[in-house]
Amino acid sequence: MSTTQANKIEIIKAPTTKINEVDFENLNFGSVFTDHLFECDFKNGEWQNPTIKPYAPFMMDPSSRVFHYGQAIFEGMKAYKDDNNDIWLFRPDENIKRFNSSAVRMAMPEVPEQLFTEGLNQLLKLDEAWIKKGLGNTLYIRPFMIATGFGVVANPSDEYKFMIILSPAKAYYSGEVKVLIAEHFSRAANGGIGAAKTAGNYAGQFYPTSLANKEGFQQVIWTDDATHTKLEEAGTMNVFFRINDTLVTAPTSERILDGVTRKSLIDMAKREGIAIEERSVLVSELIEGIKDGSLKEIFGAGTAAVVSPIKGFAYKEEYFELPKIEDSIALQLKEKLTNMQHKLTEDPFGWTVKI
């Protein structure tokens, strides 16, 4: 293996590539990874030894705090390649800001923006062959940080590992999605960690989602922890409701993640002249809307799927099907956003960043 220096980042190149073993037309989301990863360790109060090296398992002490007290955060981003073979990111500053906000909430050290950016950019340049051109082809980026300090005393760790791994992805199609509105389980609570992108938030969703799956539903729409009357998120995504010709979504809070796709869709809708409201949506309002015809669409918004239309929902053992419409605002916004991300149309917001 050859070793070089690039902007103080040590680069250890893999002796061979596994790219020729990958069927890029048939990718299971998040299951195939590129040849290299980026890592940097936090020890003695500072970040040190930033390295890009071959993707491989690594050893950890069994008493590492991440295993016992759950100090783990992550982000989800994507890279795109245009027809000129230029690589683009979409609003990476927002992901970095949210990553460090999550770190603060979980009593973890923030990652300097320059370190994050340089590590990611160098990694993307090294593995750029994995970023395929064409609408729907992307490279999913997973930055994460875990507590690596050893010992089972219930205190924050004094050592951490920051890593970035890359996974090629096709357009994410989830098919027809039916959701179950939560009556008992909650994703997050006031004063909790719902606004942090931390591993435990997602682990806590698996059980109630598995119960919904057994009943024939793909996801759960989470309600507030206090009254279970306010609709908050859909599965692992922010959720939007189209009532007549107005889009409504819950405001961000301690319970709701400040989604990058969410805020982008809001700004795009405003630019397109679509009425939008950030307010609480009640379960009762949803049921009234489906009965009187004012509820037109429900869709989730997130990095993986961008926009995921919802076919119908169930509440208190009653199922409600949404009408089939031709003028879907969800699909219009999805097309405009993905075209912008792939540089097929102009970016009037300045969100796309060239590597």
Tens digit of each residue's pLDDT (9 = 90 or more) over 278-298: 999 999 999 999 999 999 999
Round to the nearest angstrom and report the end-to-end CA distance of the chain: 26
Beta partners for residue 141, in sequence order: 77, 166
Q: In CATH, what number is assigned to the domain containing residue 120?
A: 3.30.470.10
DSSP-H helix ranges across the chain: 65-69, 92-105, 113-126, 199-214, 260-271, 283-292, 329-341
Three-state secondary-structure class, residue 341: helix
Do 54 and 143 lie in one domain? The reply is: yes
Do 278 and 153 lie in one domain? The reply is: no
Is 231 part of a structural domain of the chain? yes
Q: Determine the Cα–Cα distance for residues 35 and 21; give it in Å rounded to an integer.
A: 12
Query: How many domains would you assign to the chain?
Result: 2
Query: Beta strands of the chain (E only): which ranges?
Result: 3-6, 9-12, 36-43, 46-54, 72-74, 77-81, 87-90, 138-147, 160-169, 177-181, 219-223, 230-234, 237-243, 246-249, 275-278, 281-282, 295-302, 306-315, 318-321, 352-354
% residues pLDDT > 90 (the chain): 89
**pLDDT greater than 90 at residue 172:** no
* pLDDT at site 6: 44
For the segment 332-336, the average pLDDT, to the nearest whole number, is 95
Q: In CATH, what number is assigned to the domain containing residue 210?
A: 3.20.10.10
Do 246 and 277 lie in one domain? The reply is: yes
HSE-CB at 199 with a 13 A cutoff on CA atoms is 14
**pLDDT greater than 90 at residue 72:** yes
Is 47 part of a structural domain of the chain? yes
Do 126 and 188 lie in one domain? The reply is: no
- Domain span at residue 140? 3-169
For 339, counting Cβ atoms within 10 Å of its Cβ (0-12 exposed, 13-18 middle, 19+ buried), the class is: middle
- Domain end residue (candidates: 169, 194, 216): 169
Do 211 and 112 lie in one domain? The reply is: no
Do 221 and 185 lie in one domain? The reply is: yes
- Domain end residue (candidates: 136, 169, 202): 169
- Domain end residue (candidates: 169, 189, 218): 169
Model pLDDT for residues 302-312, shown as the tens digit of each residue:
998 899 999 99
Model pLDDT for residues 94-110, shown as the tens digit of each residue:
999 999 999 999 999 99
